Structure 1
Amino acid sequence: MDHPIRVAAQVIDGALKSVADVNPAFMTTPDKAAALVELAAIEDRVGELRLRVTADASDVAEESGARDIGAWTAAATRRRRGNCAADLRLALALADRPVLATAVREGEVNLDQARAIAVSLAELPADVDAAILDQAEAALVAYAARFDPIELRRLGRRILDVVAPEIAEAVEARHLADLEASAQQRMRLGLRSLGDGTTRITGLIPDATAARLATYLHAFTNPRRDDADPEPAEARRTPHGRKAARAFCQLLETLDPTRLPIHGGDATTLVVTMSLESLRAELGTATLGNPAPGDSVDRITADEARRLACTAHLVPAVLGGKGEVLDLGRSQRLFTRVQRRALALTDRECRAEGCRVPAPWCEAHHAGAPWAAGGRTDLADGMLLCSHHHHRAHDPTCTSERLPDGGVRFHRRT
């Protein structure tokens, strides 16, 4: 005689076969709504029963030589191993948490909510008293009547504030200290040139550092007024990831090298090496950095080098025909902080026609003769341009004209 659980599975299977050919298109709207809720509840209760069997099925894995019942289930049912492993963890958690298991069995908590509650309870420190743990379990199960899994996870992170406020702060402090120590050990950052003009950055950094970076990037990507964007339609189509990447590039260009650690006997700088002909011509290339033997050499266009020379703290090494250094520029070519403040007072925003990007988000540009052509870093020769229009100013496919009000208008070369 079959076990009652198998009999129940056969009854459910038979009931499903009886409606296999029924078309739900002919259901009324209220019937569809009710059926969706009822079937979801049944699905969760069947899932709980499967997990209940899973928790006591280690003998099945032992008999077949499988690593555990999760691995056996993945092979026997052709399911993803990761999903089966997650099911096993939840099954074992429910076996240890009778209040939660009963709530799932009776349909008061669905499986997604149960996972959120189980993870929240597992994240509580091991030295938390068992009675407090039971209170936390009961409280989260009660919250499941009103909150979805995401909200339950948020509540779970602060559940000690509810059930044990007298120890919550100390426990959280220890937990955060452990997380921060772990983050310091696990953080990584790698840069790999892809050979197509881009470099892939991969990393893992502490949350506090990531929050600071996000705040800095937001200063560049913060939405402006509707009339501030010279190309509003294009800006709306720009993916957020590209905006963030552009902001990251701008952030690096605005770093003050005098605030960085001493490197090689001088404040950290980056050398751009190019020929005198490339410096003066519209075409040409430059070498970026001072690579060590064996390192790859990064190449950029001369136009990009001239643009960087306006704002970035770079040292331009200009070479003559025989490779001798004709000029090793210094940071005096950059607009000083005082000059920047003066430009902010006079310009107030990007000077490109129709652009309203505010001064704090703009870059100082040599409006007269460019630095590469011997221009001077004088206040009278300076103007503020947003990053978009600063690129246009150094784009060989664009021309510009000064307007009577001191602004600048850009055109595509024809």
Structure 2
Amino acid sequence: MDHPIRLAARQIDGALKSVADVNPAFMTATDKAAALVEIASLEARVAELRLRVTADASDVAEESGARDVGVWAAAATHRRRSDCAADLRLALALADRPLLATALREGAVNFDQARVIATALAELPADVDAALVDQAEEALVGYAARFDPIELARLGRRILDVIAPEIAEAVEARHLADLEASAQHRMRLALRALGDGTTRITGLIPDASAARLATYLHAFTNPRRDDTDPAEPTLVEVRAKRASKPGEPSSGPVPYGRKSAQAFCQLLETLDHSRLPIHGGDATTLVVTMSLDSLRADLATATLGNPAPGDSHDRITADEARRLACTAGIVPAVLDGQGEVLDLGRSQRLFNRAQRRAFALRDKECRAEGCHIPAPWCEAHHRHPWSTGGRTDLADGMLLCSHHHHRAHDPTYTTERLADGDVRFHRRT
């Protein structure tokens, strides 16, 4: 005789087959609404039954030689292994949480809510008393009648504040200390050049460091205007337009993700190189190598650092090299036709900290006409490029924000010195 669970499964299957050809278009709105709620409740009960069987199905995995029943289920039902593994974890959690399992079985909690509650209970610190865990389970199951899974997850993270406020802060402090120690162990960062002019950065860093980075990026992005004059595109937009194919639509407002990436690049350029570690016998310095002809040409290239033969991701335009030469810690290495070094600039030749302070006192903000980006967000710029004999002194220097500093080195623009010392940009026709 068949087991009652298998018999129930066949009965459910038979009931569904009996309505396979029924068209819901002929249902009234009231019937449709009631059916949707009833079917959702039924799905929760079926899910609980499947998880109940899963929790006690280790013998199925043993008979087939599978590592666990999750792996076996993925092969037998053609589902994703990650989903089956998650179901196994939830099944085992429900086996230890009869209140939550009963709520799922009776339809008081849906499948997604049950997963969120089980996760919240599992993430409670190990030293929390078992009675408090039971209280947390009872409270979260009760909240499921009013809150969706996202809201339940928020409540779950702060459930001790509700059921045991007298110990919540101390427990959270210990939990955060464990998380911070784990973050220091798990932190990773990797850079991979894609060969298309970009490098993918992937990483995992502690929350405190991420918050600091976010604050720094906000310092760069907050002063930016969102309504850039369409008649005066930025250098990024000019390059994007050059790279676009004929007939492609022009880009709209700059997405926040791109703004953050631009801010990150600007942050790297404003780091105080004098405070970076010494390695290889020299301060942390980026060398830009280019020929004398390239230095003087409008359209040419340069090399960053000392790449291996055949590398292409360390190539930049001469325009970008000339702009980078205004930044402390960037050393221009100019070669003649035989590859011999004609000029190896030193970081001392570039604007130093005292000069930057003098610029801030004198200029107070970006010297581009109509721009009011404050001095701390600006970069020191040579009025006359170092490639044409410009001097690194106060008379030949000025402050420009990152946007206008790029524009100053953009060959599609000319500059005009105004009577008050500001600079006006003109797009070449």
SS of 1:315's equivalent? strand
5+ long unaligned stretches in structure 1 = none
Q: Is the 8 A contact 1:333 1:371 kept in 2?
A: no
2:264 counterpart letter in structure 1:
F
Q: Which residue of 1 aligns with 2:49?
A: 49
Moved more, 370-379 or 103-112: 370-379
Q: Which residue of 1 aligns with 2:16?
A: 16
Q: Is the 8 A contact 2:226 2:253 kept in 1?
A: no
Say whether 1:372 aligns with 2:371: no
SS of 1:146's equivalent? coil
Moved more, 136-145 or 388-397: 388-397
Say whether 1:393 aligns with 2:408: yes
From the superposition, tell whether residues 131 and 219 of structure 1 become closer, same or farther in structure 2 (CA, over 3 Å): same
SS of 1:237's equivalent? coil
Q: Which residue of 1 aligns with 2:247?
A: none
**Could you give the per-residue CA deviations for residues 310-350 of structure 1, whole angstroms, max 9, x where no partner exists?**
13421223334554444332334444455545555665554
TM-fit CA distance, 1:44: 1.2
From the superposition, tell whether residues 379 and 26 of structure 1 become closer, same or farther in structure 2 (CA, over 3 Å): farther
5+ long unaligned stretches in structure 2 = 238-250
The count of aligned residue pairs is: 410
Q: Is the 8 A contact 2:289 2:333 kept in 1?
A: yes
2:48 counterpart letter in structure 1:
E
Distance 2:83 2:121 in 1: 20
2:327 to 304, 311, 336: 311
Say whether 1:180 aligns with 2:195: no
Distance 2:140 2:374 in 1: 48
SS of 1:310's equivalent? coil
Moved more, 311-320 or 356-365: 356-365
Q: Which residue of 2 aligns with 1:300?
A: 316
Equivalence map 1:2-401=2 (5 Å): 2-222=2-222, 224=224, 229-231=228-230, 237-290=253-306, 298-337=314-353, 339-340=355-356, 343-344=359-360, 349-352=365-368, 357-367=373-383, 369-401=384-416
From the superposition, tell whether residues 370 and 30 of structure 1 become closer, same or farther in structure 2 (CA, over 3 Å): farther
Distance 1:330 1:62 in 2: 69
From the superposition, tell whether residues 43 and 410 of structure 1 become closer, same or farther in structure 2 (CA, over 3 Å): farther
TM-fit CA distance, 1:380: 4.2
Distance 1:342 1:31 in 2: 77
**Could you give the per-residue CA deviations for residues 56-94 of structure 1, whole angstroms, max 9, x where no partner exists?**
222333333332222222222221111111111111111
**Could you give the per-residue CA deviations for residues 45-66 of structure 1, whole angstroms, max 9, x where no partner exists?**
2111211122222233333333
1:260 counterpart letter in structure 2:
L
**Could you give the per-residue CA deviations for residues 104-154 of structure 1, whole angstroms, max 9, x where no partner exists?**
112221111111111111122333222122122112212222222222222
1:327 counterpart letter in structure 2:
D
2:344 counterpart letter in structure 1:
L
SS of 1:62's equivalent? helix
Q: Normalising by the residue count of structure 1, what TM-score does the alignment of the two structures yield?
A: 0.87
TM-fit CA distance, 1:251: 0.9
Q: Is the 8 A contact 1:402 1:409 kept in 2?
A: no
TM-fit CA distance, 1:358: 4.7
Q: Is the 8 A contact 1:121 1:137 kept in 2?
A: yes
2:289 counterpart letter in structure 1:
T
TM-fit CA distance, 1:294: 8.3
TM-fit CA distance, 1:201: 2.1
Q: Is the 8 A contact 1:310 1:364 kept in 2?
A: yes
1:280 counterpart letter in structure 2:
R
2:153 counterpart letter in structure 1:
R
2:126 counterpart letter in structure 1:
A
From the superposition, tell whether residues 256 and 4 of structure 1 become closer, same or farther in structure 2 (CA, over 3 Å): same
| Percent identity over paired residues | 81
Q: Is the 8 A contact 1:364 1:382 kept in 2?
A: yes
1:92 counterpart letter in structure 2:
L
Distance 1:142 1:399 in 2: 68
Distance 1:354 1:29 in 2: 61
Q: Which residue of 1 aligns with 2:244?
A: none
2:380 counterpart letter in structure 1:
A
Q: Runs in 1 of length 4+ with deviation above 6 angstroms? A: 232-235
Cα-Cα RMSD: 3.0
